[in-house]
Structure 1
């Protein structure tokens, strides 16, 4: 029985890590209801009702990094941080837009109504719980890369 549960959990993690491989996609979103105004970096953490310790670590470490290192960018509206519960009916459209079905982390760069979508889900699942320093370092580098442009 334990082996079956373990196999199911591994399957869920595999699905969540591989559910969206559109890592560096650029699209025109000028009329999109989700498009922020102006040039901005957008960090979106998606989650469902049930979350494993790794999912919880992704949210906690992302939130900690943004609050401690990017407060000025948040205050100046150069960085937006969203936590989206995909189990809520009002969040169905944004979950569908990013093809999210499980916990996921995106860092998107918006410039002149063009969105560069960066799915960091696999990176987050690999590092957030077991190597939080590497997770924060990698996430910080991606955010800073976009803020500098």
Structure 2
């Protein structure tokens, strides 16, 4: 029952922020070999709701507190991408992003594993930041193995 409630809240927030993107995990390859790393990508538009801002601030707080060494070494890369800027259209199109979204992706041997964490973020970042941080931490730790 509790999960149904959180799912309903997440769906309402996604719709209210204009993002009806599905959660998807896929492997995409590229012609240019990328260094092995974890990419945490937070996409946002010009207009942002309270939950959108909470996703960004909680993600940054988590990364700064637990993964500063990995960020310094380039093992984890955190990017904040404003999709309202023309120069970010290509990356927004690549991930099929139309509004605020959060991805935690792994690049390994030139292949990208895409993990859309948007629904999870909208369900937890504002009202349950500890669960949000724990969930993102679990995903990052899983991908670092």
Please report the TM-score for the alignment, with normalisation by the length of structure 1: 0.84
Q: 2:65 aligns with which of 63, 68, 77?
A: 68
Give structure 2 stretches of 5+ with no counterpart. Answer: 1-11
Q: CA RMSD in A?
A: 1.7
> In structure 2, what is the equivalent of residue 54 of structure 1?
51
| CA distance 1:10–1:112, change in 2 (3 Å) | closer
> Alpha-carbon deviations, 1:68-108, whole Å to 9, x = none?
11001001110000000000000000000000000000000
| CA distance 1:118–1:11, change in 2 (3 Å) | closer
1:125 aligns with 2:126: no
Q: 2:21 aligns with which of 19, 22, 46?
A: 19
Instruction: Measure how far apart 1:10 and its partner are.
Output: 5.6
| CA distance 1:26–1:10, change in 2 (3 Å) | closer
- In the TM superposition, 1:48-127 aligns within 5 A as 48-127=45-124
CA contact (8 A) 2:44 2:82 kept: yes
Which ranges of 4 or more aligned residues in structure 1 deviate by more than 6 Å? none
Instruction: Measure how far apart 1:19 and its partner are.
Output: 1.4
Number of residue-to-residue matches in the alignment: 134
Structure 2 CA distance, aligned partners of 1:77 and 1:83? 16
Instruction: Measure how far apart 1:15 and its partner are.
Output: 4.7
Larger Rg: 1
CA contact (8 A) 2:14 2:119 kept: no
| CA distance 1:44–1:10, change in 2 (3 Å) | closer
Structure 1 CA distance, aligned partners of 2:71 and 2:104? 14
